[in-house]
Amino acid sequence: MCDMGHGDHHQHFGYLVDAPEIRALVDETARLMRTIRDDAERVDALRAPFAALLAADGWLPERCAQPDESSRMGGGIGQYALYRAENGSLCLFSLVVPAGASTPVHDHLAWGLVGIYRGRQDETVYRRLDDGRDPSRARLEIAKRQQLGPGEFYTLLPPTDDIHYVSTISDTASVSIHLLANDTACVWRHRFEPATGVVTPFRSGYANAPCPEDARA
């Protein structure tokens, strides 16, 4: 299932979708977080288990692969928590971007991996040129663009390649799977306007679980 209820606080953490494939990846990630101190080494060690999840069929409920018209990201983009560590150290979620839609330009503020489960995406990655001292402004330039299909993935190691946006270029919605070392939808991140340099704080929220002190909870 992909729980859409807003009941007891604790039910919104741990395995919101309980599947053997998810448990295998989370268990291996937890083990590597205990045994590998370097983020880059840890992410590299996670490539094979993450690829195995992307290659597996049947573990993602259809409810977690649908657009969300109430999305805070706009455009019907749905963000569904699959696993959340209660201490905020790790999350796994699906991101559904309808055909023809794009995410805002945003950051993640955590190491991790992002891969395509269904559909195709075009990713535009930005490089920050200023020193970040002004929290309301940023000077960005495009660092790279790439197109990705099912089974393909990339790593995040902030500040490198942490600012991007993605567009669905398939005829149907794209579904990407994100494994990140924070509670991504509930931390305050940044939305960027490359043309104007404006930076605004935002919290994207999950479609199926409330954030702490969230007015919608």
Confidence label for 6 from pLDDT (cuts 50, 70 and 90): very low
pLDDT at 212: 83
Domain assignment of residue 140, yes or no: yes
3 is a domain residue: no
Q: Which domain holds residue 46?
A: 13-202
Return the SS3 of 49.
helix
Quick: pLDDT tens for 109-121.
999 999 999 999 9
pLDDT digits (tens, 9 = 90+) for 119-162: 999 999 999 999 989 999 999 999 999 999 999 999 999 999 99
Output the pLDDT for position 9: 52
* pLDDT more than 70, % of the chain: 94
Predicted confidence (pLDDT) per residue in 175-209, tens digit: 999 999 999 999 999 999 999 999 999 999 999 99
Number of domains forming the structure of the chain = 1
CATH code, domain carrying 61 = 2.60.120.10
